[in-house]
Structure 1
Amino acid sequence: RQVQTLYRARVFEHRDALQRALENPERELGPPAAAVASAGRMNSKGISVFYGALERRTALHEVRPPVGAAVAIAAFTLIRPLRLLHLSALTAARLDPSLSLFDPATRSIAQRCDFINSLEAELTKPVLPSFTDGGYLITQAIADYLATHRGLNLDGIFFKSAQYHGMVDEAGGHNVILFHKAAAVKIPDVAKTSASLARQVGEDEWEGPSITTLPKEIDDNPAFHGTWPGTEREESLELQRDSIEIHRVSWVDVKADVEMVEHKFAHSGKPSRQGVQE
């Protein structure tokens, strides 16, 4: 499947933090710096990766925002070819019917096939917030193996969302993780970005949120703004500055499977000598 645009969301509970993010959107809405990168489904703490969704609605659900919060969602365009592992395609792996089930060599092949079939379910199963630290250990180890395997040479993984499965009339619920080596965002050559949130400019006139990109002036003695030797990564993503949306969460819809609790009455009775109630 061709992937050209990824949507990334970030939750803000304070107006000032949202404005600061809009003033530096590539860094604040892109992948976090390694020093502040928290552990996730497919990354350990301190490893900066890019989690994105193929749809805005999926990105919104993935961050699980509380009512009253603001969520900034931005579109990032892939600016170079990347190699992604499509997890859903692995579920089609089947044992060659010509192999004999009585052959000992077939056993290991069947075990590998079963593991591949269950890989998506393992990597995408929901983990409750209180179990985040330990619940992601297996998926983090698998993702780290895939990210560093030289033969596979993968840049990331394409997988189904555990938080959102899409509506009936839409193909929703798909995520992409780009490993650290492919998670670099292009930083625009601008002097500064100013940001303004929604404000009242007249008695009955409001001005919506906006960002203004200021052009960079010519500097005869430019300061060093690059990366240190040995730490360079090829840029893979570019933020579309005109794509940023602010979603203010007014209510949350929860879909659940209902399980009734049966109410039973215990029969009181005097046990007989044989231990049977009379």
Structure 2
Amino acid sequence: MWLDFVRVNSVIWGLTWISVKCIACPWVQNMFISVCLLLFMETSSKPQIQNTRKKRIDWTKGLLGLVTTSSLKTWAHLYIQSQLWSHGESLILPLDYMVFVLWSGLVEIIFDGVHYWVHRAFHTRYLWWIHRIHHKFSWPTSLSTFYMHPLDVMLAYNLPLLVALKLCGGRFWHFQLLCTYLTYQEIGGHAGKKLFPTSSFAQCIWLPRFFGIQLHTEDHDLHHTEHKVNFSKRFSLYDRMFGTYKCGVILETQVSRPRNA
């Protein structure tokens, strides 16, 4: 567990530093981080959650989704930066790490609250036409992360992020790190690999476990099989509060899961 924690966080911090210091274009920064994390997850030796033999990912659509998603996220990131921060700050020091963990935890709790209700709304018959693109596969993979309607990105990612940061504020480097962590969590949540006991809050996997609100890749994988459970993305808090939580880790070890797309 410790080795995975150090490895993941080293990659995230390294990619953030390289993207900000060495790449001038924000859109290229976003693409660079997304592609690197996509490759990082795809080359992971972790075992698959579901049978992969029937997977048929359209790489053209996946890459087009990556470009579209990165473009929409870049627009949101630039707007947030223009409203809240300047670029005059230094890279945060290791001693500031716990401040970042607590701040990002608060941001992600608010983010997840907005996302939870938007996500549930997408599963109603009135808005399913937006979200069904993302549910094209009942066996997620890293690339299927980017199978998203533009309105899905705007309402389920950009809106929660804007609300959370308007309420919490923050620092420029904190924000840059947070965006990389969010991208990692998005891709990791769709990786289709058994990442347990690593939780979706990669900054400090022990914090959500302490409060009993940890969420795992296996849980979101189950959402793609059973559409009425596990709407949250960061923590299991809101699913537990509103009765929609179902543990994917237990199911994966005890019963067979549907394999069809």
**TM-score normalised by the chain length of structure 1:** 0.25
Larger Rg, first or second structure (1 or 2): 1
Determine which structure has the larger helix proportion and give its number.
Answer: 2
Determine which structure has the larger strand proportion and give its number.
Answer: 1
